[in-house]
Structures are given as structure tokens and as C-alpha cells.
Structure 1
Amino acid sequence: MKKLVFKLTSLLLFCFCTVSYGQDFQGKAYYQTKTTMDLDQFGGREMSPEQKKRIEERMKSFLEKEYILTFNKTESIYKEDEKLEAPGSGGGFGGFSSSLTGGPKYKNVKDKELIQDQEFFGKQFLIKDELKGLEWKMGTETKQIGQYTCFKATATKTVDEFDWRSMRPRRGRDRDNDEKKEGEEAKDSTKVDKDDPMSQIEVPKTIEVTAWYTPQIPINQGPDDYWGLPGLILEVSADRTTILCTKIVMNPEEKEEIEKPEKGEEVTQAEYNEIITKKMEEMREMYGGRRGGRGGGRRN
């Protein structure tokens, strides 16, 4: 009975709001994102409280950001709301973070098109791919976000192998190798190279996602990669990252044209990941060669 009431309520809300919005409308949703990171997992136990505090302050601009989602009925563009930072506040993470977080992200839910503006080590890429959806499970729980009534939905999401937001130190490797059958060698992919920081990090294959959407804004859009619900997604919790909408402006006086990113070398997500992998291998070889050269100098 509760599920029937929920479906009827959400359907009525959706129909009412659909009538309320014309074909030519636009909105802007402002989001705050925050990713938590436990420094103790990355060698922080050996740091003093003062050292930890300094690093946390330097990483704040990297882990906490603000974005604007500009949308109409079929398209959206998700951009970081860039602000001038105080000198030194970004530390050494500014340029590096741009290679991880990316530029504007365009989604077209009608044509299932995803375009990501991405810079990597000074080179511009244009990642073009099919817009893939999640298999959302609709819940009956509701909550209020600002003036909007939101409904809960959950899904299991496959994580990109280079998604820094879900990276964590590898665990239990010695135990896993001990449990292997006698005579069976451990795969190279499970070995940890102390000189290669990336071999000490892993990314889970999947994570659980919880989203809150509002049928009061009946568009199939949301922040970042998220979409596919019968209403604008106002909040997302995914692993260690939370995305929360703080303000919505409907039909602003000055409308912004939603343009597809066009600059950069066109690649798919799989091709871009391959480029990252090759670059990391090059850096590892360069780093190893320098260490070997210094060592040889000492022996002579």
C-alpha cells in the first residue's frame, strides 16, 4: 500500500511540474562537493598533528569544490565554479588536481552523449563517450532539501580505474598470497613495488551510490556523471564523496547557451585511460633510472 501511494504521489508531482515548465526553460543548480581522506591510511600516523593540519589545509581546495550545473530539458553542462585562491592556499596540488578533476562535462540525455573537457600534463583532451546510466532502485524514503521534496534512489556504480576519489592503500596482500595454493605464484598485478606509489594504491571495482532527486524539477539530469531519475538530483553520496545542491535558479534572466566542449584531441574513456597508463609507466621508468644513476655515482 505504501509503495502504491508513493508511486501515485511521485507521478502526480511529476505530471504537475511537467505542465508548469515550458519547452524553452533553463535552470542553474549550485553544488558543493567534498571528498574525505584519512591521512592515517597514507602514512599519516608518522606525522605530527601540526604536519597533518598543514597538509589538510593544503588539500582542502583539492578535496572541496563548488560546481554549477546549467541545464535545460535534454542538455546540461557541469563546470567548476572557479574562484581566486589566496596565495599558497592550493599548495602543490593546483596543477596536479586539474589533471584529475577535469574541466566542463557535457551531458545530452536524449542522444546519450557525454563529452568531458580534460587536461592531462599540459595536453588538452576531449573525451567523447556514450552516456551510460545506472540501474536505479527507487525508494520510498523522502527528505527536504531546501524548498524541494526529494525521493531516495540507490544504485551500484562501476568505478573508473583512475578515479582518485575512491583510491585507497592496498590491504591484506601478504595474507592473500599466503592463502594461495602451494606452487601457485602470485600475479604481478598484486605485487607492491615500494618505488612505485601507484602499485600501493587500489580502486574498488564498484561502490554504492545514494541519490536524492526532486520531481518538482522534472528533468533527467544531475551533477557530475549522475542522471537517469525522474527529477533533478540534488544530493549524491558515493563512497567518500558527497555532492550537495545549495542553490537553484530557475529561468534566469540572462540565459547561458549550453555548448559542447570542442577543444582537444578526441578520445574515448578507454583510450584516455590507456594514455594515463603509458604516461605513468614513462614516469616510473624515469624515476627508476634517476635513482639508479644516483646509486651508481655513490658506488664509484
Structure 2
Amino acid sequence: MVLGLALGLSVQAQEFQGIAVYQSKTSSAEMKERFANDKNMTPDRQKQIEERMKSMFEKTFILNFDKTASIYKEEEKLDAPGQGGDGRMKMMSSMMGAGGTMYKNVKDKNYTVDKEFMGKDFLVKDSLVKLNWKMEGESRVIGGYNCFKATAVIAMNETDLGNFRPRSDEEKRKEDAAEKEKKTSLLDQIKAPTERVVTAWYSPEIPVNQGPDKYWGLPGLILEINDGKTVILCSKVVLNPKEKASIKAATNGKLINQKDYDATVVKKIKEYRDNNPRPAGGPGGGGGRR
């Protein structure tokens, strides 16, 4: 009888699953200001750009998780008519990894994510980055769950969209003058990488060390992440849903590690920028060679 009960509890633990729905919002104030200051842009075109930017920077993601692994994927939805976007918008959307599925295995400490970048499919597989979380001792309630605050310092790199910003005309003149005799940077339109502080709120009431996107490693499900540019907030949690998800890594795409994938992205951005220079008319112009 005792053995049967133990086996039953073991099976239940193995079958445990949960679903968390997250709303992700990334600040786009700088881009909105640049488009708003473009005198050549019509009101209709500006409205179209703003709608496209909203779809890029405000998204819903679903996290399916069990005791050891999870899959994190953007909620599928159709684009509204007329939201095709221009080349720069499509480029940025591609860099945000739309449509990809991130698989994290916290037991084996690895991850797999399928990405489509500029028409090519990649399968990025690598080890999870260990985050040195600092417990801050603060608490709050999110969605009825008691949560605690933790922070970590994370290095940004060239492919982090949250670090992207076109140079102002004044910045461009000064930097171009200073580097006239030097080799042009691969990403001279992008701010230099910096470190940032990430704030997480996790709940020990959901005892899995999972979280949205690349975040993990806390003694409870991460319900909110704020990196200063993007806020990812959990809006719904369902434990032990009736329908179980298949929590497995994707298998399609060119196998590559994170370092090599980042190098590929940097190279392609340079090629794209060189072949599609920003026109004199500003952000709303056509671009490209004629």
C-alpha cells in the first residue's frame, strides 16, 4: 500500500505541468520620436508605422513548463491588413525572433531555440547562462501569488535589440569625423554594448526554477522581469491543465551555437545596412539602391 502510494506520487510529480501567460512590452519612445519628427511622413503612414511598432514591441507569450523543462513561444496571431512594414521594420522584427520557440532544460542546463533570420532557419543550441541572482528581501503580490524580488547584472551584446538606437545626425557627424581615418565599425548605427540590471519577481508558491524567455534559476516561477527596456509580466497561471503540452526542443534549422549565431546576425546587419542606406529624407524614406 505504501509502495503504491509512493509510486503514484512519483508519477504525479513527473506529469506536473503548468501554463503561464506573459505580456511583453518594450519601450519604443526613441523610435516614435524619430518618426514623429520626420516632416516627409504623411499622417496615414505615421499611423501605419505606429501600429506596426505596437505589434513588434507589445506581445503575448506562452510558457509551458514542468519540473525540469519549459517551452516559451509567442502567441500566434494574424497581422492586420497593411501592417507589412518597410525593410527596417521587417529587419527588426526578424531580430526579435518572432515565431521561434525557446526550450530550456534547467536540469541539464541547456537551451534550444529555433530562429528565422533574414529568410534562413537556425537552430541555436547552447548552455544556459547562469545568472548570479541577488535576493533583495522585498515582496509583493502578482496575480494572487506571493512574490519576492531578485536582481542580476547581465551583459548586453551587439544583437540585443533593446540596445539598438539609430545615431542622431549630430552624433553621426561627430563620430564620423573622429573615425574618418579608422576602419568603420560593423555596427556604427548601434550603441556600444553595456551591462544592465535585471529585476525579477518570483513566487516560491510555484516551485519550479523557470521563467520567461532566457530567465531561470530562482526558487520559484518568475512572474515578472524588468530589464529597464522591456517588462515581461505574467497575467495568468494554470497549474496541471487538462491538456498536457509536448515540452520538447525544436529540431528544424541549421544547427549553430549562440556565439556563431550572434556573429552571423552582426554580419548580416552590416550587409543589410550597406545595401539599404538611410535616405536623406529621414526614417520615413524609401531607402535602398536605385
Answer whether TM exceeds 0.5 for this pair.
yes
Segments of 5+ residues of structure 1 without an aligned counterpart are: 1-18, 191-195, 295-300
Report matched runs for 1:64-75 at 5 Å: 64-75=58-69
Q: How many pairs were matched up?
A: 263
CA deviation after TM superposition for structure 1 residue 140, in Å: 1.1
Alignment equivalent of 1:82, drawn from 56, 76, 80: 76
Verify: 1:56 aligned to 2:50, yes or no: yes
Query: For each residue in 1:174-213, what CA deviation from the matched residue of structure 2 results, as whole angstroms up to 9, or x when unmatched?
Result: 77899x9xxx9875356xxxxx9x5222253211111100
CA distance in 1, matches of 2:37, 2:289: 32
CA deviation after TM superposition for structure 1 residue 134, in Å: 1.2
For 2:239, the aligned partner's letter is: M
CA distance in 2, matches of 1:173, 1:287: 17
CA deviation after TM superposition for structure 1 residue 153, in Å: 0.6
Distance 1:217 1:282, change over 3 A: same
CA distance in 1, matches of 2:231, 2:42: 26
Query: For each residue in 1:236-290, what CA deviation from the matched residue of structure 2 results, as whole angstroms up to 9, or x when unmatched?
Result: 11121110000011001111120111111100111112222332344355457xx
For 1:146, the aligned partner's letter is: G
Query: Per the alignment, in what secondary structure is the counterpart of residue 97 of structure 1?
Result: helix
Residue of structure 2 in register with 1:155 after alignment: 152
Distance 1:203 1:176, change over 3 A: closer
Residue of structure 1 in register with 2:37 after alignment: 45
Segments of 5+ residues of structure 2 without an aligned counterpart are: 1-9, 278-286
CA distance in 1, matches of 2:265, 2:107: 30
**8 Å Cα contact 2:97/2:117 also seen in 1:** no
CA deviation after TM superposition for structure 1 residue 292, in Å: 12
Report matched runs for 1:216-231 at 5 Å: 216-231=205-220
Report matched runs for 1:56-205 at 5 Å: 56-89=50-83, 91-92=85-86, 93=89, 97-102=93-98, 103-170=100-167, 187-188=182-183, 198-205=187-194
CA distance in 2, matches of 1:143, 1:257: 32
Alignment equivalent of 1:249, drawn from 234, 238, 243: 238
CA distance in 1, matches of 2:58, 2:249: 26
**8 Å Cα contact 1:42/1:169 also seen in 2:** no
What is the Cα-based RMSD across aligned positions, in Å? 3.1
CA distance in 1, matches of 2:50, 2:274: 30
**8 Å Cα contact 1:69/1:223 also seen in 2:** yes
Query: Per the alignment, in what secondary structure is the counterpart of residue 277 of structure 1?
Result: helix
**8 Å Cα contact 1:177/1:186 also seen in 2:** no
Residue of structure 1 in register with 2:20 after alignment: 29
Residue of structure 2 in register with 1:283 after alignment: 272
CA deviation after TM superposition for structure 1 residue 160, in Å: 2.9
**8 Å Cα contact 1:143/1:150 also seen in 2:** yes
TM-score, normalised via structure 1 length:
0.77
Distance 1:35 1:61, change over 3 A: same
CA deviation after TM superposition for structure 1 residue 64, in Å: 0.8
Residue of structure 1 in register with 2:284 after alignment: none
**8 Å Cα contact 1:26/1:250 also seen in 2:** yes
